[in-house]
Amino acid sequence: MAVGLAGVIKVPLSLLPSLQRHCLPLQRNRSSMNFHALKRKMEVSSYLLNQDSPTLSAPFRTEVVGGCEVQHRNLSYGDTVIHFVECGNVHGELVILVHGFPNFWLVWKNQFKALAEAGFHVIAPDLRGYNASSRPSGVKNYSQDCVTRDLLHLVDCCSNDQAVSMVGHDWGGVAVWAVAEICPNKLKKIVTVNSPHFDSLRSHLQRSLCQRLRSWYFVFFQLPVIPEAFLQFNRFWALRRSLRTSSLKSQCEEDINRYVEAYTSSGALTGMINYYRAAHAGYWENVGRTHVSIPVKVIWGVMDRYLDCQLANPPKDLVQDVTVRLLPELSHWPMWDDPELFNRTLLTCLS
């Protein structure tokens, strides 16, 4: 949901009403909630009827990341390939770590060792459009249905028929919220990291000019071609600057170079930006409309410059079993800012 480009480019204030118009919530009443609940059931039925016999590759590469050995594997179904790294106890409880924009699996590098040593089986995928996963063309291929289907296939192939925990940051958190609404029976709990419940975000955008100003990039990313050209300019200068300055702890040059390598993949920038375009086009309109019945843990870095701290609290009528843990001195990327504190908090949430 957030992007560390504020201050790098200015957006005309005249565009902000467009942001409000396209992000306004539908009036939530009993009939609309029942309608979205029915659509959710239809999505589940579609997922169950259209399983594409996903297959897992054998590990094809091993490396040490953050002091932990991880293996690279692929999940394949139809024309889609989802790359992921794996570590920890393959017989332990499965935890799936889902990144956001503009990251990929490497954003969790400081969490792998802690989770593996705690006995968890850990998987961190590249979302479609990112890094080594498929980067299909067309905005509709970045819809809620497509992204959640990828994650549900991972669960089916790797969970040993046990409920799993999902941890999502930023856009990854939005996807995790969606999975919790579609197939709660497959999840033990979810943990969201600086990723607001979509109903809260819609409502807050309606009433908060400050949040609309913070979210200017939602509008910028609707433009054709220009966002990609801007991000690619001068060897991804804006994204490099973001990785160095948008969190409290700058990324090392080795990691920044790995990010740049991921950005240079054909279609990668468009794939990443297409999540915002898909949201604008209505392909994520159903997320945040129905009840979440499983336990929810929220970790929130209070010094997030892109999302108001009020968004840490999901709506009580839709999410009743929730615990919010605020980290006052950390930013939008708390897993980078203070890995030790974040890992303690995450392990508490998962216990």
Mean pLDDT across 234-246: 89
Q: What is the pLDDT of residue 44?
A: 52
Selecting among 275, 332, 337, 338, the annotated active-site residue is 332
Query: 23 or 256: which carries more pLDDT confidence?
Result: 256
What mean pLDDT, rounded, does the chain reach?
88
Q: How confident is the model over 19-50, as pLDDT tens digits?
A: 544 444 444 554 444 545 455 554 554 555 45
The dihedral of CA 344, 255, 104, 202: what is its sign?
Answer: positive
What pLDDT was estimated at residue 30?
Answer: 44
As a whole number, mean pLDDT of residues 275-284 equals 95
Q: What pLDDT score was predicted for residue 161?
A: 87
pLDDT computed for residue 207 by the predictor: 87
In the residue annotation, 291 being an active-site residue is answered as no
Say if residue 198's pLDDT is above 50: yes
Whole-Å CA distances, 172 to 125, 160, 194, 198: 10, 23, 10, 12
Per-residue pLDDT of 113-170, as tens digits, reads 999 999 999 999 999 999 999 999 999 999 999 999 999 999 999 998 899 999 999 9
Handedness of CA 40, 43, 45, 47 (dihedral sign): negative
pLDDT given for residue 226 in this prediction = 96
Q: Is 276 a catalytic residue?
A: yes
Which residues have CB under 8 Å from 305's CB, separation 6+?
6, 214, 246, 331, 332
130, 142, 259, 276: which is the annotated catalytic residue? 276
Q: How far apart are CA 153 and CA 176, in angstroms?
A: 13
Residue pair 336/251 in contact by the 8 Å Cβ criterion? yes
Structural domain spans, the chain: 13-19+28-350
Given this model, what pLDDT does residue 60 score? 96
Q: Is 337 a catalytic residue?
A: no
pLDDT, residue 242, reads 87
Q: Which residue has the tokens 């990723």?
A: 195
> For 70-82, what is each residue's pLDDT tens digit?
999 999 999 999 9
pLDDT at 8 over 70: no
170, 199, 337, 338: the active-site residue: 170
Q: Would you say 198 and 134 are in contact if contact means Cβ atoms under 8 Å apart?
A: no
Predicted pLDDT at 318? 93
Residue 205: pLDDT band with limits 50, 70, 90: confident
pTM: 0.89
CA-based end-to-end distance of the chain: 27
Angle between helices 171-182 and 30-49 (to 10 degrees): 90
pLDDT at 9 over 60: no
Residue 270 phi, psi dihedral angles, 5° rounding: -65, -40
Q: Check if CATH label 3.40.50.1820 holds for domain 13-19+28-350.
A: yes
